[in-house]
């Protein structure tokens, strides 16, 4: 199977869906001639032209608002936001329009819209290094996807484009160069299906996006000491598939949730609450959470890097849990 980057896998999904369905179009800042801020759409403008690859003004509320209208009119727009930080100025269009139109109009209107946007650190400090997946996963009417591998990114994006519901498709900026196996042929992946990325027996680590890779690296190091971690990738944050997590808890009786966002009111809090409610009697120790230090992101890159759990701190936490 071919090795492809996360970026190329996403581009393949976009191209294949545009070839399959003439109603699919891409819109966003510099997505055309320039090929997008992270070069994800590079080359598509030359193939599909300016009727289906639309450069927009720097106005996220206009990008999403226009995409919502296009979706209601029968098209399948993929709106690219330069970073998830800029989704803040389009929250009304995302939360009050895209997410609610289907319910508010008695199911007479649908919004088959995908909003692609990179998140995470490695960018520019407090206002440009954020990760708001929990905010969007809070909203009924939205589907929230946050893939960690090229294979998952391609399969889930194709599903998102074919969905009749609005999808927040969140890509971590530091994963674009990550390589993985991606088949050349047609495939899609369903929403709401978590994936066991590494089997284990001693501790369950639940994660997604970039932190999935931190979890896997920590698990490899812990295996050298005889501690086997089961690593579960949520892939879709709304709907949330807890079945593999519950099955794992029945084996390990210990759970660590690893996320890149702030932990207060985050995805980890939601997952911990569900485990505590549904599998409380199976736990040998309290559910643990690790995430970003809860202060605005510093500008200096060395300080920025200290904000997050790394392989060493994750391994230390796991050893404390099994002691």
Residues carrying an active site annotation: 60, 128
71-to-96, 112, 118, 282 alpha-carbon distances in Å = 15, 5, 22, 46
SS3 letters for 98-111?
Answer: HCCHHHHCCCCCCC
Complete DSSP assignment for 93-158: IIIIIITTHHHHTTTS-----EEEEEESSSSSHHHHS---HHHHHTSTT-EEE---SHHHHHHHHH
- CA distance from start to end of the chain: 41
d(CA 155, CA 142): 19
d(CA 271, CA 223): 25
Residue-wise over 39-61: b if at least 16 C-beta within 10 A, else e? Answer: ebbbebbeebeeebbbebeeebb
d(CA 140, CA 273): 18
φ/ψ (deg, to 5) at 59: -155, 90
Token pair for residue 116?
């692609």
């Amino acid at each position: 199977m071919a090795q492809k980057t996360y970026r190329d896998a996403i581009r393949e999904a976009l191209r294949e869906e545009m070839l399959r369905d003439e109603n699919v179009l891409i819109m966003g800042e510099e997505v055309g001639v320039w090929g997008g801020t992270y070069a994800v759409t590079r080359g598509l403008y030359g193939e599909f032209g300016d009727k289906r690859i639309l450069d927009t003004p720097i106005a996220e509320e206009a990008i999403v608002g226009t995409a919502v209208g296009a979706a209601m009119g029968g098209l399948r727009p993929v709106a690219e936001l330069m970073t998830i930080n800029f989704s803040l100025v389009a929250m009304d269009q995302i939360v009050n329009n895209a997410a609610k139109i289907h319910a508010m109009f008695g199911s007479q209107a649908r919004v088959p819209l995908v909003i692609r946007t990179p998140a995470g650190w490695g960018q520019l400090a407090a206002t440009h290094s954020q990760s708001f997946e929990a905010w969007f996963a809070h909203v009924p009417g939205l589907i929230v996807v946050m893939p960690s591998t090229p294979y998952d990114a391609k399969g889930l994006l194709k599903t998102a484009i074919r969905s009749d519901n609005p999808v927040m498709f969140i890509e971590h900026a530091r994963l674009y160069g990550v390589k993985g196996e991606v088949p050349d042929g047609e495939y899609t992946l369903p929403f709401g299906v978590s994936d066991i990325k590494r089997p284990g027996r001693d501790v369950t680590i639940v994660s997604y996006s970039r932190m999935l890779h931190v979890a896997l690296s920590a698990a490899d190091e812990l295996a050298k000491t005889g501690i086997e971690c089961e690593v579960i990738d949520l892939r879709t944050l709304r709907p949330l598939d807890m079945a593999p997590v519950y099955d794992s808890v029945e084996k390990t009786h210990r759970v660590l949730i690893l996320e890149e966002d702030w932990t207060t009111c985050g995805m980890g809090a939601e997952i911990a609450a569900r485990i505590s409610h549904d599998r409380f009697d199976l736990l040998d120790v309290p559910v643990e959470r690790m995430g970003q230090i809860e202060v605005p992101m510093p500008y200096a890159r060395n300080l920025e890097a200290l904000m997050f759990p790394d392989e060493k701190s994750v391994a230390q936490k796991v050893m404390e849990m099994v002691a």
